[in-house]
Amino acid sequence: MYDIEGIYKAQSVADAIAALGQDPAAVVIAGGTDVLIKIREGKLAGCRLVSIHDLAELKGIALAANGDLEIGPLSTFRDVTYDPIIRKLLPVLGEATDMAGGPQLRAAGTIGGNVSNGITSADSASTLVALDAVLRVQGPAGLREVPIADWYKGVGKVDMAHDELLIKIIIPKSHYEGWTGHYIKYAQRNAMDIATLGVSCAVKLSPDKKTAEEVHLAFGVAGPVPMRAKNAESAVKGLPITEAIAKIGAAALGDVNPRTSWRASKEFRIQLVGELSGRALAEAAKKGGAAL
């Protein structure tokens, strides 16, 4: 059923990096929810796999001493959704990962795989982009950190070399403290689907909860890679929250560049951007205590 030439089960991150360095054609497998499908479709038939599935050092979600949230990339979608730290400090991320696929996929697929694939429709991606997450990557030369704004290089391409591994997804304290967020996955049905458009909005309200001091708006499937809507963000910065909600959709149209595919037309996706941006902001503001 699965046409693979071989699989090497890595013993550690360093071991996996060495194995990838020795085999330029090897494919990393973690949760396997994308790789196995590609193998079965024949796209990766006959491949050699390096499995990082059992590396305990890449699992777990923890709060660092400085307050940064550190997510092990092997955390499954379900791990993220039900993690007590995420639920308390960053519920929007757990809500986003809870919308991927169905229950079986969420128990196997990992947030690290979702980000490393470089796919614009990834359910965790737009929220991580809205949060300005930082990605820690390890390679033969050591560690480096990449802001998610510089991570996506094109469809399926990210700023990570063949012999590098994503080892941590970091949400700095200042990026979540005082912010509330909301993710809307617009798909053609309510389960087992790919987003037609993903909208994630984070807002920092004024102390009286009436003004949007700062807004972060990010989209999936509004362009070839997950993207921020910087024009829309600056257009509504500092506005009373009701005015910000009314204006953000139209402003976001200047930021996006969706394409027509056989799944949905450009015009339809633009309609969704205009409509859903305000809804996401309204929900994010409500979670932050705004009376709407």
Partner 1 sequence: ALSEEMKYDEKTGRLLNGNLLDYKMPTTMDTPELHALFVETDDSSAPFGNKSLGEPPAIPVAPAIRNALLQATGVAVNTLPMNPQKLVEAFTKEGLI
CB contact at 8 A, 219 and 286 = no
Q: How far is the CB of 189 from partner 1 (least distance, A)?
A: 5
Determine, following the binding rule CB under 8 A, whether residue 38 of this chain makes contact with partner 1. no
Q: State the nearest-atom distance from the C-beta of 1 to partner 1, in Å.
A: 16
Closest CA to 216 of 243, 197, 237: 237
For 175, residues 6+ apart whose C-beta sits below 8 A from its C-beta are 131, 132, 133
E strand or H helix at 194 = none
Q: Which of 44, 90, 264, 284 binds partner 1 (CB under 8 A)?
A: 264
The residue written with tokens 């699965």 in the block is 2
Q: Which is nearer to partner 1, 22 or 265 (CB)?
A: 265
Site pattern 224..263 for partner 1 (x: CB under 8 A): --------------------------------------xx
Cβ contacts of residue 193 below 8 Å, gap of 6+? 187
C-alpha 187/C-alpha 96 separation (Å) is 13
156 sits in the region (left: phi over 0; alpha: psi -120 to 50; else beta) called left
Tokens linked to 270: 């633009």
Shortest spacing between CB 16 and partner 1, in angstroms: 30
- CB of residue 196 vs partner 1: minimum separation in angstroms? 8
54, 177, 243, 267: residue in contact with partner 1 (rule CB under 8 A): 267
Give residues 88-117 in contact with partner 1 (rule: CB under 8 A): 102
**Smallest distance from partner 1 to CB 121, Å:** 12
Q: Minimum CB separation from partner 1 for residue 197, in Å?
A: 11
Nearer to partner 1, 66 or 190 (CB): 190
Which helix (H) or strand (E) element contains residue 77? helix 77-82
- Residue 248: CB minimum distance to partner 1, A: 18
**Cα separation of 202 and 73, whole Å?**
22
Output the six-digit token pair for 222: 């509004």
When the beta carbons of 116 and 196 are compared against partner 1, the nearer one is 196
Instruction: Identify which of residues 153 and 266 has a Cβ nearer to partner 1 in the complex.
Output: 266
Residue 213 touching partner 1 (CB under 8 A): no
CB of 142 or CB of 262, closer to partner 1: 262
> Site mask, partner 1, residues 161-200, x = CB under 8 A?
---------------------------xxxxxxx------
- Our finding on whether 214 is near partner 1 (CB under 8 A) is no
Integer Cα distance of 292 and 274 in angstroms: 20
- Interatomic CA distance for residues 242 and 221, integer angstroms: 26
**Binding residues for partner 1, total number by CB under 8 A:** 15
In terms of DSSP bridges, do strands 4-9 and 27-29 run parallel, antiparallel, or are they unpaired? unpaired
Decide if 221 contacts 196 (C-beta within 8 A). Answer: yes
Across the chain, which distance is largest between two alpha carbons, in Å? 61
- The residues that touch partner 1, with contacts defined as CB under 8 A, are 102, 188-194, 262-265, 267-268, 271
